[in-house]
Amino acid sequence: MTDEKRDPIFDDVEKIVAEFIRNTQEELTARWNAWKPEVAEREYHEVVAALLARQVALAIQIARNPLIWNSDGAPVLLRAMADVFINLAWIFGDPAERARKFVLHGLGQLKLQLEHRKAALAKGPADPREEELIKLAEEWLQSQRLLHLTNVNLGSWAETTTRKMAEEAGCLDFYNHVYIPLSGAAHSMWQHVGRYNMRECRNPLHRPHRAPFIADEGIVPFFFHAAAKHLRETFALFDEKTGVKVDVPSAYDVLEKRFEEFDDKMDDEPESVPPRQENDE
Ligand SMILES: [Zn+2]
């Protein structure tokens, strides 16, 4: 069954997205295979692997979902990408020590979360499904080599603010120009909701005030482009800090090329009306 109303633009977008996803995965695999850290650096190795994979996964989620390429949807995921970038940049500054801190903080948080859930469970009726989930999480915790070192740490995992981490990692510009604006969206703060989720009331009988508003921006490729750009920055950071060099196409560069081709195509075919008949009286 075909959907005749479907805009042919979606076929182009699908192709571009599929190619982008393939390229991101090849980029990740090539780097992972080329990187040979010391055996003693296991936490560092694993933390970087997890954060890189997370960055690729987030970029793929954004790429694959054009319906969230708008001011309400994409910035929440882009902010998570900004976190990955700053975390990685900071860890590279003192790999063994900071990767270990990152792991220990995560283990402490999970331990605490499980204690809260168990306490809540003890008060209520038996819930076998919840018990099973807790058991699985506890098994994962037990499998972690550093568990015996875990102290519950309620502060930031790096015992510092993200701003300070960015400053120490030499990426304060990224923090100011990317992380902070995205934080407004991710945390639904006034600078975001006041601008994107309200508009002037159109009732002429009312005094000037703003009313709730759900925008329909359509599909804005800028947000896909931003995800690709953050991924490129993350790979570049990895390459710089590890000295790894890979010979695979950059998902970002290919995407840039496709966007240009797409623009040219749109210029050539500005509308879908039939050509005018010259001798039509
Ligand atoms: Zn009103």
Q: For residue 144, name the pLDDT band (cuts at 50, 70, 90).
A: confident
Cα(204) to ligand 1 centroid in Å equals 8
| Number of domains the chain is built from | 1
Question: Does residue 140 lie in a domain region?
Answer: yes
Cα(65)–Cα(14) distance, integer angstroms: 10
CA of 191 to the centre of ligand 1 (A): 21
Residue 147's pLDDT is what?
A: 66
CA–centroid distance, 197 to ligand 1, in Å, is 15
245 in any annotated domain: no
pLDDT of residue 279: 44
Structure-model confidence comparison of residues 101 and 267, the more confident one: 101
- Using the mean position of ligand 1's atoms as its centre, give its distance from the Cα of residue 213 in Å: 12
For residue 230, report the distance from its CA to the centre of ligand 1, in Å. Answer: 40
Contacts by residues 228-233 (CB-CB < 8 Å, ≥ 24 positions apart): 228/20, 228/59, 228/63, 228/252, 228/255, 230/55, 230/59, 230/78, 230/81, 230/82, 230/85, 230/178, 231/24, 231/55, 231/56, 231/59, 231/81, 233/85, 233/174
pLDDT over threshold 60, residue 271: no
The range of the structural domain enclosing residue 156 comes to 108-166
pLDDT in tens, 88-120: 999 999 999 999 989 988 888 898 899 899 898
Domain membership flag for residue 133: yes
Locate 71 and state its tokens. 């001011």
Confirm whether 253 is domain-assigned: no
Q: Cα–Cα distance between 258 and 17 in angstroms, integer?
A: 10
Distance CA 116, CA 118 (A): 5
- How close is the Cα of 212 to the center of ligand 1, in Å? 10
Question: Where does 184-249 show beta strands of DSSP type E?
Answer: 198-200, 210-212
Is residue 146 domain-resident?
yes
Q: Given pLDDT bands bounded at 50, 70 and 90, which one contains residue 158?
A: low
Q: Where are the beta strands (DSSP E) in 166-249?
A: 198-200, 210-212
Rounded to an integer, what distance in angstroms lies between the CA atom of residue 105 and that of residue 87?
A: 13
Q: In this structure, how many other beta carbons lie within 10 angstroms of the beta carbon of residue 264? A: 10
Mean pLDDT across 52-59:
98
**Mean of the per-residue pLDDT values of the chain:** 88
Q: How far is the CA of 220 from the centre of ligand 1 (A)?
A: 29
Residue 216 CA to ligand 1 center (angstroms) comes to 20
> How far is 108 from 98, CA to CA, in rounded Å?
15
State pTM to two decimals. 0.86
pLDDT of 278 > 50? The answer is: no
Distance 199 CA to ligand 1 centre (A): 10
Distance 242 CA to ligand 1 centre (A): 57
6 is a domain residue: no
- Is 139 a domain residue? yes
- What's the pLDDT score for residue 61? 98
267 falls within a domain: no
